[in-house]
Chains A and B, each alone.
Chain A
Amino acid sequence: MLHKIRERVTPTDLIMWLIGTCLLFLMIWGSIATIKGGTYSIHHWFDFVIFGLAQGSIYALIAMGYTMVYGVLRMINFAHSEVFMSGPYTAYYFAAAFYSSGLLDRQPILCLMIIFLVAMSTSSGIAFLLERVAYRPLRTAPRLIPLITAIGASFFLQYVFRGLFGSGFQAYPVVKILEGEWRFGEFRLLKFQVIVILAAALLLAALYSFIQRTKVGKAIRAVSEDKETAYLMGIDVDRMISTTFVIGGLAAGAAGVLYALMFKQVHFFMGFIPGIKAFTAAVLGGIGNIPGAMLGGIFLGLIESIGPSLFLDGLGIIAPYQLKDAIAFTMLVLVLIFRPTGILGERLAVKKA
């Protein structure tokens, strides 16, 4: 009996569990201290939750691209953060033109639609080309090679945008109808955050039902499970892989505009942090799993927004919000220690008969 346990549990596992338990203990202790301290009242927490949901739904949209591409190619598309950046960056020039011509104030809905359209088509176009030019020729190469290519493609795209549009921050124009807030007693809702959450929820629902219900969606799932058999069913696997990239690009482009409107700026390096976060979200949810990526994104957004105040304030750390990234990645470490497959991760053992 003891022998069996010793075989299964290595010293590394024990150390990891120890670290994990310590972190968990710190989090719980900090939370209790914060709540007892009473620095934040209920409407503060409400603010955190709404901001977290807004941020999280953007992560969820980006994470779709990572997880779907991983599904069909078993590869992390590290250039996805640039697919995300390219959309809003290109659309910025439209937004700026609309703003200076005054059209943005007169026809805000129309302008926003065009901005989204431009961003989504740019991002999906770049994702499509990326697969075609950089990844398809390497389909049969060892797995490390496409990974390195992805990192190279990521740099390439960053510096193409830097070269074309400069290395400065470009300020995204303010859309007046998205500003302002609704107040309910002590609680307030920023209009913008509500719209981000609704738009992202709509897109995620559309994406999910596309994957679940349409013929192409089902074929993409079939390709993720078994490419060779998918071929034998008459499925054009290459086309399905292209489609996957295009869909991931569409989601990333939309997420990019939401992100740019939220933080009011674009920059050639803007994709890096949200990209890494969304990748984290995809891993948190269980990479390859679509509902998992959505859940992981929202979970990460919430933790990032609530976590610093909840866990760290009570521990007496000053300016805890500076540590939100640390909290996000600590979450990743914790999930990977206690549940290596992610929240909704698949059990890999049952995969192939």
Chain B
Amino acid sequence: MAFLEIEEIHAYYGHIHALKGVSLYVEKGEIVTLIGANGAGKSTMLKTTSGLLSPRHGSIRFEGEELTRYRPHEIVAKGVVQVPEGRRVFGRLTVRENLEMGAFALSDPKLIEANLERVFNLFPRLKERQKQVAGTLSGGEQQMLATGRALMANPRVLLMDEPSMGLAPVLVDNIFNTIRQLHAQGTTILLVEQNARKALEVASRGYVLQSGVMVLTDTAQNLQRNEMVRKAYLGET
């Protein structure tokens, strides 16, 4: 039994069949990446895992417990935490308040303080700006905040949705360094990315999603060498 196990998920947006029987698993301490083109269903996958979307069929189990019957905030309390696509920081709340919201499910003030310390160590920039309103941060800082905010919840599995989207190349490197750091600290990560090259560099295994169907899965190394992946996602000819 894997740590996080998604089995035969079918999900719909209205009448659109967005996920057609998708399965994947993530072992404890692993980075697994899910790559695919725009509209392949990657974000839908994460939304379904977080409970924002209910699957019509299939099961999502975290440590053997079925997640699909819980509501989104309960899933967060179980330790499955998402960094949403497009960062989605609360623009009118301060940096500090954003981080406090990340820890909403926790009640022990000592634990919250310790998490805050950890986030500030990871992103010293956030400590400098903690009283600033989050809407005034730059894109890179907002990504730090979105990641830090998710870490505040003590995630046992971190679901990251396109963390590098819309960022300058230097900042993309920063984000992937952060991901490596988190991995070194033992965080389990399911990473959804359009930047397949970078994603496959940090991940141990990968899945390729195409129009709602899982077409390929292998170790990251093998995927980097795979003909189809190279052509379609790594931009090689």
Interface on A for B, CB 8 Å cutoff? 215, 218-219, 221-222, 225-226, 228-237, 346, 350-351, 353
Please give the distance in Å from B97's CB to the nearest CB on chain A: 5
Contact indicator A218/B73 (Cβ below 8 Å): no
Asked whether, in the complex, the Cβ of B84 is within 8 Å of the Cβ of A221, the reply is: no
A219 to B100, CA, bound (A): 9
Query: Within B85-102, which residues are at the interface with A (CB < 8 Å)?
Result: 86-88, 90-93, 97, 100-102
Q: Residues of A contacting B92 with CB < 8 Å?
A: 221, 225, 346
Contact A229 to B73, CB < 8 A, known contacts A218-B101, A222-B101, A350-B135: no
Contacts of A234 in B (CB 8 A): 73, 76-77, 81, 104-105, 153
A233–B91 contact, CB under 8 A?
no
The CA-CA distance from A193 to B135 in the complex, in Å, is 41
- Bound-state CA distance A228–B50 (Å) is 10
- Residue of B76, B93, B150 near A218 (CB, 8 A) is B93
Q: Could you show 26 A-B contacts with beta carbons less than 8 Å apart? A: A218-B100, A218-B101, A219-B101, A221-B97, A226-B90, A229-B84, A229-B88, A230-B101, A231-B52, A231-B71, A231-B72, A232-B50, A232-B52, A232-B84, A232-B88, A233-B102, A233-B105, A233-B153, A234-B73, A234-B105, A234-B153, A235-B104, A236-B71, A236-B73, A351-B91, A353-B87
Q: Whole-angstrom distance between the alpha carbons of A231 and B153 in the complex?
A: 12
Q: Shortest beta-carbon distance, A226 to chain B, in Å?
A: 6
- In the complex, what residues of B have CB within 8 A of residue A353's CB? 86-88, 91, 142
Nearest CB of chain B from residue A165's CB, rounded to whole Å: 40
Q: Are A215 and B88 in contact (CB-based, < 8 A)? A: no
Q: Do A233 and B93 touch (CB < 8 A)?
A: no
CA distance A102 to B51 in the complex (A): 59
Question: Contacts A221-B90, A225-B90, A226-B90 known; A232 to B76 CB distance under 8 Å?
Answer: yes
Q: In the docked arrangement, what's the CA distance between A52 and B84, Å?
A: 48
* Pairs of residues from A and B, 5 with the lowest C-beta to C-beta distance, nearest first: A234-B105, A234-B76, A231-B72, A229-B88, A234-B104
**Does chain A have a CB within 8 A of B44?**
no
